[in-house]
Structure 1
Amino acid sequence: MHSRKPFYIFVILLFVAGIGASIYRGIQHNVPFLPGEQVQSWAIDAKISFNGRNQPAEVQFSLPNDPAFDILVENTTSPGYGLTITDDSNRKAIWSIREASGPQSLFYRVTLVPTGKLALHAEQEPADTELYLWPATEKTAAEQIVEDVWSRSATNLSFAKQLMTLINDDNQSQNMSLLLSTNTSTKLFLQMLHTKGVPARYVSGLLLEDQRRRQQLTTYVQVYQDGEWHLFDVQNNKQGRDNNLVLWEYAGGSVLEVMGGSNSLVNFSMLQDTRSALATSIDMMMTDDALDFSLYQLPLEEQSLFKGILLIPIGVLVVVFLRVIVGIKTSGTFMPVLIAMAFIQTTLLIGLIGFLLIVSFGLMIRSYLSTLNLLLISRISAVIIVVIFIIGLFTLISFKLGLSEGLTVTFFPMIILAWTIERMSILWEEEGPKKVFVSGGGSLFVATIAYLAMSNQLVQHWVFNFLGIHLVILALVLVMGQYTGYRLTELKRFKPLVGEK
């Protein structure tokens, strides 16, 4: 007996590959699993202004590179300036001009989409921190505070938390008051961390608030612990970051450097917007030139074509289930799938009416052709021509009556209808009208179920955006192809046996 083990292994591999590919696409490329999902985006404008000195000028401006936000699109406005954008981890926009005189304005706009990745992992261990040397007037006070807190901490992170709490304590000691009189709380916090060689650095962050203008960057401190940088907002006595905080610069450099100018300043304006999650994902893949095998890379005409073609496996799955498992008889194997495709174009009600009218008139004309004793090829050809004539006649009548819905009957597959009429006519002659109504009714029922499945928005979203789903469909079809048991419709034969108990 031939072993089915390789078959089942193959089916499992198909199923796992299909599910895995779909999950990977949803997570890696942020393709939404449900249609109609929305995401929030932030449009941020940065205005850089300075006064030129009638000499060459160069402006270096740090650009956001925060893993918590994806850059959807960015552009600049700088008439007369040359522009270079560095493509390393510390991204910068560099404007240059031969002569800048008087007030100058440069603009940078970026659209950010939150990713939810708030943790900032270090790519490598930070270099050894240079110990901070206190001025003589502050040394004794600072060392007393640092040593006291250091003895009550276990890690760099706990040391930083206790320091921040002590700096913001309402009942401050004389030593702390002395230090705060000559330093800001954020600066003092970083200096105390460096006193013990704790890896820490300044970061510049922009707090996003809808419809805010002329905003400035805020200085925060990041502390390194176990491969991750932890954010501290010393001024507000808060550890951790909010979802709406963009780390604009966290490499330890300055945000804005102007050479050949004075009185430089950068202001930020921001606006929150709601976008389609799917459209955002597509734009991101196009921007990043991601290695993606989605159909959105094709021209729109081909995309529209594939949106219809990729629904056929769903119809096939429905037909296989209803014929193999349920046991519904149809006229033709996959004729219901093509009829369901036509229903998608015509709507269900108009499609059913059109199908019944065309088949009814076709059967009447086919009964006359049977009296002529034509050859099969001639008879089928005549039926095809008649079907075309019937469809054209119904279309003209609908147009004359102002029924625009009737114009959609042209979407029916004419060759398939002709063969359906031929089969039904032969079945009528050989086994009677009952068999015709059973097979015809079964075909319409299966076509209707297939239409309901294929027209579902969730199904249409999945089969087009997650191509791995088709591997799952193939696996299910193969499994059902192994079924040799009773159909559900055949169980009625066992009903008398149940009644005898």
Structure 2
Amino acid sequence: MLSSRLKIELIAGALILFGVGLTVYKVFALGFPLLPGEYREVWTIETKISFQPESGAVDVKLTLPEPVAGWELLDEHFASSGFGFAIRGEEPRRANWTKQNLQRETTLYYKLQAYRPTVDALPDRPPEALMPPLLNPDQQVAMERLLNVLRAKSVDVESFTSLLLVEMGPEGSDPDAGFLRSTWEEESGDILLGILAHAGIPAGHLRGIRLEDGRRRQTASALLEVYDGDNWLVFDPETASRGLPPNFFVWQRGSQALLDVVGGSRSRLEFALVSNSLPARAVVAMEQRLGRYALLDFSVYALPVEQQGVFKGLLLLPVAALVVVIMRLLVGISTSGTFMPILIAIAFIQTTLLVGLGIFLTLVAAGLWIRSWLSHMNLLLVSRISAVVIVVIFLMATLALVSYKLGLDQVLSVSFFPVVILAWTIERMSILWEEEGPHEVLVQGGGSLLVAVLAYLAMSNRLVSHLTFNFPELTLSLLGVILLLGKYTGYRLSELYRFRNLGRD
């Protein structure tokens, strides 16, 4: 009869060998990269087109991106089950889905992989013909006054456009600009392009995606592109800053529509993004072999990009769990709750470490003070916890508003902290304060923060993130290690330090 310890050791050994063995096979047989340092950042962008069909034939056209500004396209995939599909070779390229009859709402997919080995300028293109929109007499007068003011303050096209963006933004103070904003109709097109056309300056939209790892359901963004007679200048209408942002993937230039749907209504165009550090050749080879190797058909790469971004974060949780197990069982650190440090570490990833520590300490300190006041009201446990949850939400909203007014954008990520966990932490620490005193609160609270910081450092490590995403089977090996640690009955490091004098005797 096998003992429980031997059973755990056999199961743990099998899990560790299976995870490591599968990783070695993927590295040497399938060409997966083991280290991320020497590889480029490859972005996988999945486009989702959804619409409600109407009676009659359906014709969907999507403008496809071109490799500009240093971007290189590695591969493209289209999902068009039941549709006729073709790629129009016109300028720009367009994907065309057609179907004679469609009964229910459907979704079409287009996925590409791209990387940016160099940062190049946008290629030159001829400006489009100026088409100023028709204005009523009052708008015409306001337009002329605004253009005269901007011309008097500017010396060239660049300074004119910068001043225009400031006046048309939320901080603008020109009354004529405000009047045009309030009376402009959507049928007249974009207001900035209309004003620039009246000023005789060729301009257009530069549509694309702001790259953010793990982002889901993102919509297309538009930059402003103006022609100064020799070159095209790019401006961000939101910030009035000049230049192409480094995290902006250019999808389309010009006035042509990004998506056209004939025979459908309520169409939506959404993007899901995920980045990974891989060599470009390995990514292309992996995509080509998805149908040849059954192992790759069940890998994370076989999932839609939206789910890939989710699993990229979930696969880091076993690493944080291993940190908690080591710190509690081997080191002997006391924490407030078993896995609360993991949730705090997840919030730190979203807020950055120093900002997250400040937010956490502020919320917990304020919550403890309010909880001490509620304890004198003799409330039942359920009512007390609910009151603390509401107070924590109010404190988070207040902190976000104050930080926004002060221009502290990082503090706005306070919403990533789990509200219920914060409320239970405050309740647990307040009870601990009453039963054990403030010293025990400091010990467990400090231990929780220490373990959370170590878990954050492990989860945010580039090598760890690379290994967990490309080799998810290693989580089985982590499970085996945790099972082995679960049978550890020896002294902890804190106990060895505590009883160090006995060892000397």
**TM-score under structure 2 length normalisation:** 0.51
Write the deviation string for residues 466-491 of structure 1: whole angstroms up to 9, x where unpaired: 01210110011000000112211011
Match of 2:434 in 1: 429
Partner residue of 2:490? 485
Which of 424, 442, 445 in structure 1 is aligned with 2:447? 442
Which protein has the larger Cα radius of gyration, Structure 1 or Structure 2? 1
* Counterpart in the other structure of 2:401: 396
C-alpha contact 1:73 1:287 (8 A) present in aligned 2 = no
- The runs of at least 4 consecutive aligned structure 1 residues that moved more than 3 Å come to 275-279
Query: What pairs up with 1:150-169 in 2 under 5 angstroms?
Result: none
Equivalent-residue separation in structure 1 for 2:364 and 2:278 (angstroms)? 44
**Per-residue deviation at 1:20?**
0.4
> What amino acid does structure 2 have at the position aligned with 1:7?
I
Q: Conserved in 1, the CA contact under 8 Å of 2:19 and 2:474?
A: yes
CA distance, structure 2, for counterparts of residue 432 and residue 380 of structure 1: 21
Residue 301 (structure 1) aligned with residue 302 (structure 2): no
Q: Which residue of 2 aligns with 1:29?
A: 30
Give the Cα–Cα distance (whole angstroms) in 2 for the partners of residues 298 and 362 of structure 1. 41
Q: For residues 121-160 of structure 1, what are the alpha-carbon distances to aligned partners after superposition, in whole Å with 9 as ceiling and x for unaligned? A: xxxxxxxxxxxxxxxxxxxxxxxxxxxxxxxxxxxxxxxx
Paired with 1:353 and 1:443, the residues of 2 have a C-alpha distance of 15
State whether structure 2 residue 472 is matched by structure 1 residue 467: yes
Identity %: 56
1:276–1:307: structure 2 CA closer, same or farther, 3 Å change rule? closer
Separation of aligned partners in 2, 1:350 and 1:455: 15
Name the aligned partner's letter for residue 315 of structure 1: A
> 1:364 and 1:494 mapped to 2: Cα distance?
36
Stretch of structure 1 that moved more, 477-486 or 29-38: 29-38
What is the Cα deviation at residue 303 of structure 1? 1.0
Q: Structure 1's 21 and 363: CA in aligned 2 closer, same or farther, altered over 3 A?
A: same
2:375 is matched with 370
- Secondary structure of 1:425's counterpart equals helix
Q: State how 1:229-244 maps to structure 2 within 5 Å.
A: none
Partner of 1:328 in structure 2? 333
Which residue of structure 2 aligns with residue 18 of structure 1?
A: 19
Tell me if structure 1 keeps the 8 A contact 2:277–2:466. no
Paired letter, 2:348: F
Q: Is the 8 A contact 1:369 1:379 kept in 2?
A: yes
User: What is the distance in 2 between the residues matched to 1:397 and 1:73?
Assistant: 45
Residue in 2 aligned with 1:130? none
Unaligned runs of 5+ in 1: 40-71, 75-274
Corresponding residue number in structure 2 for 1:358: 363
**Distance (Å, rounded) in 1 between the aligned partners of 2:460 and 2:445:** 22
In structure 2, C-alpha distance between the alignment counterparts of 1:299 and 1:73, rounded to whole Å: 15
Q: CA–CA distance in 2 between the matches of 1:421 and 1:496?
A: 37
Q: 1:320 to 1:73 in 2, by over 3 A?
A: closer
Asked if the contact 1:282/1:296 (under 8 Å) is kept, the reply is no
CA, structure 1 residues 371+318, in 2 after alignment: closer, same or farther (shift >3 Å)? same
Once the two structures are superposed, residues 48-89 of structure 1 have per-residue CA deviations (whole angstroms, 9 ceiling, x without a partner) of xxxxxxxxxxxxxxxxxxxxxxxx989xxxxxxxxxxxxxxx
Q: How many angstroms apart in 2 are the aligned matches of 1:491 and 1:350?
A: 35
Name the amino acid aligned to 1:280. R
* CA displacement at 1:492 relative to structure 2: 2.6
Within the candidate set 324, 336, 346, 1:319 is matched to: 324
- Where does 1:8-407 land on structure 2 (aligned, <5 Å)? 8-38=9-39, 277-288=278-289, 289=291, 290-291=293-294, 292=296, 293-407=298-412
The amino acid of 1:493's aligned partner reads: R
User: By how many angstroms is 1:386 displaced?
Assistant: 0.7
Alpha-carbon distance in structure 1 between the residues aligned to 2:299 and 2:32: 11
Secondary structure of 2:489 counterpart: coil
One-letter code of the match for 2:287?
M
Alpha-carbon offset, residue 276 of structure 1: 6.8
Q: Secondary structure at the match of 1:372?
A: coil
Greater percentage in strand: 1
- CA distance 1:2–1:375, change in 2 (3 Å): farther
Given the superposition, is the C-alpha separation of residues 280 and 490 from structure 1 closer, same or farther in structure 2, using an over 3 Å criterion?
Answer: same
| 1:411 maps to 2:416 | yes
